[in-house]
């Protein structure tokens, strides 16, 4: 049986999706609060930047993959307007439920699909733009997921990948202390789950860095890929244009 990473652990490939599901089942109801606490609210700025780069216009067809509680999908929907379509997808029903409840409370209703990014239930070339924010590193076969996102985009369509990445050298020591000491402690105190936040720190370290992800996107069918480093490279936005 082929092996893959779950944080720093080696696990059977068949086991990883279930382990990741356990993490997000556990954190779903506290997910938005923890995002604000752990990033000191910065995730909002990173997503706002992504929305600005996406430049969604009225009428556009947009797919948010691993969209969780729907921050990006909601912002895209405001811009796509009634003539456009924004589909919120995620493999985890607890995350989608938390997102759908929050959107409904605000009077926003989006088409939603529970699905694995590695097998998207959409026809070829059916979207102008796809996004995946802080989701790719959790996927077992990242190449397969990127190829699926390329498949459902029309030629010239864009994929935006917002993900933790490799910070500048000066930031690495303090960032390691923050990730492996403070983050699991806050996870334990607030979400009653230190292990999931230890997994978060480990999964970030195992994720391909900026250059490696760019190469993966090119191999998946994105002819041109730009990298936007945010917060000194702690996070990077990769923008790929489908050939
Ligand atoms: N995009 C949201 C955001 O930025 O707030 C949620 C990000 S959350 C850290 C990661 C999400 O990826 C989770 O909701 C998880 O269920 C989802 N995910 C993990 N593996 C997936 C897969 N194979 N296919 C689709 N979604 C997946």
What is the model's pLDDT at position 22?
94
- Position 1 scores a pLDDT of 76
Mean pLDDT by 10 residues, the chain (243 residues): 93 95 94 95 98 98 98 98 98 96 94 97 98 98 98 98 98 97 94 93 97 98 98 98 97
Alpha carbon 196 to its chain's center: 16
Q: Which of 32, 66, 103, 119 to mutate to test the pocket of ligand 1 (most atoms within 8 A of CB)?
A: 66
* Phi and psi at residue 222, to the nearest 5°: -100, 110
Contact 217, 243 (CB under 8 A): no
Neighbours of 168 (CB within 10 A): 12
For every residue of 18-79, DSSP letters joined together read HHHHHHHHHHGGGHHHHHHHHHTTHHHHHHHHHHHHH---TT-EEEEET-TT-HHHHHHHHH
**Lining residues, ligand 1, CB within 6 Å:** 20, 24, 66-69, 71, 90-92, 95, 116-118, 133-135, 138-139
What is the Cα–Cα distance from 59 to 85, expressed in whole angstroms? Answer: 7
CA–centroid distance, 66 to ligand 1, in Å, is: 4
Architecture of the domain delimited by 3-242: 3-Layer(aba) Sandwich (3.40)
Cα of 70 vs centre of ligand 1, distance in Å, is 10
pTM exceeding 0.85: yes
- Give residue 67 CA to ligand 1 midpoint distance, Å: 6
Ligand 1: centre distance to CA 185 (Å): 22
pLDDT digits (tens, 9 = 90+) for 67-120: 999 999 999 999 999 999 999 999 999 999 999 999 999 999 999 999 999 999
Q: Which pLDDT score, from 0 to 100, does residue 34 have?
A: 94
């Amino acid at each position: 049986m082929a092996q893959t990473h779950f944080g720093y652990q080696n696990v059977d490939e068949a086991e990883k999706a279930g382990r990741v599901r356990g993490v997000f089942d556990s954190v779903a109801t506290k997910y938005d609060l923890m995002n604000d606490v752990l990033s000191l609210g910065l995730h909002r700025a990173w997503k706002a930047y992504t929305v600005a780069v996406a430049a969604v216009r009225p009428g556009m067809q947009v797919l948010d993959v691993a969209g969780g509680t729907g921050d990006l999908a909601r912002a895209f929907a405001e811009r796509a307007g009634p003539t456009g379509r924004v589909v919120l997808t995620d493999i985890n029903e607890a995350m989608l439920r938390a997102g759908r409840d929050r959107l409904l409370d605000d009077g926003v209703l989006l088409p939603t699909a529970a699905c694995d990014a590695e097998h998207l239930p959409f026809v070829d070339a059916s979207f102008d733009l796809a996004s995946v924010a802080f989701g790719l590193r959790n996927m077992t076969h990242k190449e397969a997921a990127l190829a699926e996102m390329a498949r459902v985009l029309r030629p010239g369509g864009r994929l935006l990948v917002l993900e933790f990445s490799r910070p500048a050298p000066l930031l690495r020591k303090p960032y390691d202390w923050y990730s492996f000491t403070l983050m699991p402690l806050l996870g334990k105190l607030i979400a009653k789950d230190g292990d999931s936040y230890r997994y978060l720190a480990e999964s970030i370290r195992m994720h391909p860095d900026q250059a490696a992800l760019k190469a993966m996107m090119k191999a998946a069918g994105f002819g041109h890929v730009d990298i936007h480093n945010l917060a000194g490279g702690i996070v990077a936005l990769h923008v790929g244009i489908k050939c």
